[in-house]
Structure 1
Amino acid sequence: MSDRRSVLRIAAAATLAAMSLTLPAMAQETTGTPDDPRLVQPGMLTVGTSDPVYPPWMMNDSPESGEGFENALVYALAEQMGFERDQVQWVRMTFEQIIAPGDKPFDFAINQVSVTPARAEVVGFSQVYYQSDKAVIALPGSPVTGAESFADLREARWGAAIGTTDLAYLENVVGVDGVMVYDDQVGVFQAMQAGQIDATVAAIPTALFATAVQIPEASITAILPPDGGDEGHGLLFEQGSPLIPWVDAALSEVIASGTVEELVQTWLVADPDLPVISE
């Protein structure tokens, strides 16, 4: 793994150097600094995320607090890139707006966005910074309670948010027909509380928070295998963004320093005793 990270850092640095040769001389002096003219707002690092945001990814619906896995990661990354804490500004958007093709009002976004081949055709990504297994969230008495196979899981009424890998996972991996689709995760949880669906899937950290705070009457009933079409979570950029090599090189340093693993242990600890359904 260390060799791979070294290669990533060298490749990113080489790409950044090559791109800087195409910039005017004055711009080259500030390339790769907080005054980089390629930033949405030079002097600031503009970061997109959703509205609202949820623990443990970000606490108290406050990206600015730095309390939570993803916003703490952003501030560590910003420091590596040379930004002060007050030079980070947040842009709140819907998940669909974040992943849509086209111009972006941010330098990059962080919102548990899974790197997938389909998305990579219309937006840019950093390297993966975290990958989570899926968790089944179900109400008491749900047909998935005690399930031991995908066939058992297909007996339930499922729901998921539109455009998410959770929805694709239920349809393509578990093989669920007729998944109920909602605008966002909140809508999914509300549908569960209303008895419209029996279960949903989510990343383990999301599931832990949901069953502790949002829908405490539900519980995690099982862990599912990784999604082969989901490479993990990455920072999302406008397609072709010239900032990708710079940000990716800094992210490599943050990962290599052990900061990301420390944040995982602080915010994203899962229960190792949960049952696993593999097929």
Structure 2
Amino acid sequence: MSRIRISLAASAAVVALAASACAPQPQSDAAAPGSKASKGSDCTIDSPSLHERGRLTIATDSPAYEPWFDSNTPSNGKGFESAVAYAVAGKLGFARDQVKWVVEPFSHSYAPGAKAFDFDINQISITPQRAKAVDFSTSYYTANQAVLTLDGSKFANSTSLSALKDARIGVQVATTSYQAVLDQLKPTHKPSVFNTTKDEVTALTNGQIDAIVTDLPTVFYLAGAELDNGRIVGQFGYAGGTPEEFGLLLPKNSGYTSCVNQALSALKADGTLAALTKQWLSASANVPELKQ
């Protein structure tokens, strides 16, 4: 689903962590990145499956906001998704100067057609509909939806999804939050759709909507940095309680999909992905779960 947009300062510790993750890692598995993989995939840095041989081209939207990126500069290695992207690149054998960032609007990324990148990292939820037009990696982050309102709102102390039934909910265009609201909250009022997170915040402060629903890390940022009186009501899983999963998006039938999956598997196994998640998204932990 989701797309956050906004930026915070990053710590030097994460820069070091992201940088160290970029270094090529030795692989013991014969099918690991950097070797000839199973199913005929070439996972070398000169693979013909790459958009440009010898270079890893990574896409995201602009502006690119916190906590996913820092200062709208994906190439600085700061922010969760920037750090993950460089960690994946490192497992694939790419040095930092062999990574090229390009801009791809969120709603265009999963449209059918040729792509000018090797993978896109942009809080893109893995859905069956999108997977008809593009490839997805395995998940690199699992995110619940969350509800944000203002202190003093009659919905501020809601402890269940049913208590939000009559709320006027705002969501961002081209995210899965819209369907999540319909399926889980079953609201009386049709959700209002906004082009940007900023538009959602403006509508909330102006009283046009009662609450915003988006992914939990975005809600944390908005409550802490964009609103003086923001109140996080709680979080909920989408699709019958199953959390939403973000995946790296690749061109349909990309020969590099299995390579990226192997890199992510290695990052999970050696603890790098967990460390990056804790470093950048640790604020998401202690939010009450909203049930029916």
Distance (whole Å) between structure 1 residues aligned to residue 36 and residue 257 of structure 2:
10
Structure 1 residue aligned with 2:159, among 137, 143, 148? 148
| Residue identity opposite 1:249 in structure 2 | Q
Report the TM-score, using the length of structure 1 for normalisation: 0.86
1:104-156 Cα offsets, whole Å, 9 max, x none, are: 11111001111112221221100011102222111223232111222211221
Aligned length: 261
1:60 is paired with a residue whose SS is: coil
1:137 is paired with a residue whose SS is: strand
Aligned twin of 2:4? none
Aligned twin of 2:39? 18
Aligned twin of 2:149? 138
Shift of 1:245: 0.8
Quick check: 73-82 or 130-139, which moved more?
Answer: 130-139
Aligned twin of 2:219? 207
Structure 1 residue aligned with 2:98, among 87, 93, 107? 87
Change (3 A) 1:47 1:273: closer
Given that 2:219 and 2:232 are in contact with CA atoms closer than 8 Å, whether structure 1 keeps it comes out as yes
Shift of 1:168: 1.1
Distance (whole Å) between structure 1 residues aligned to residue 244 and residue 170 of structure 2:
22
Distance (whole Å) between structure 2 residues aligned to residue 113 and residue 12 of structure 1:
25
Shift of 1:11: 8.2
Distance (whole Å) between structure 2 residues aligned to residue 18 and residue 66 of structure 1:
32
Structure 2 residue aligned with 1:255, among 234, 246, 268? 268
Aligned twin of 1:171? 182
1:46 partnered with 2:67: no
Q: Which runs of 5+ in 2 are unaligned?
A: 1-28
Aligned twin of 1:127? 138
Given that 1:143 and 1:155 are in contact with CA atoms closer than 8 Å, whether structure 2 keeps it comes out as no
Quick check: 109-118 or 179-188, which moved more?
Answer: 179-188
| Residue identity opposite 1:17 in structure 2 | S
Given that 1:15 and 1:245 are in contact with CA atoms closer than 8 Å, whether structure 2 keeps it comes out as no
Identity %: 36
Given that 1:116 and 1:230 are in contact with CA atoms closer than 8 Å, whether structure 2 keeps it comes out as no
Given that 1:78 and 1:84 are in contact with CA atoms closer than 8 Å, whether structure 2 keeps it comes out as yes
RMSD, matched Cα: 2.2
Structure 1 residue aligned with 2:230, among 209, 218, 222? 218
Distance (whole Å) between structure 2 residues aligned to residue 99 and residue 149 of structure 1:
33
Given that 2:151 and 2:229 are in contact with CA atoms closer than 8 Å, whether structure 1 keeps it comes out as yes
| Residue identity opposite 2:159 in structure 1 | E
Q: Which has the higher helix share?
A: 1
1:244 partnered with 2:265: no
Report the TM-score, using the length of structure 2 for normalisation: 0.82
Q: Which runs of 5+ in 1 are unaligned?
A: 1-8, 21-30
Distance (whole Å) between structure 1 residues aligned to residue 287 and residue 95 of structure 2:
41
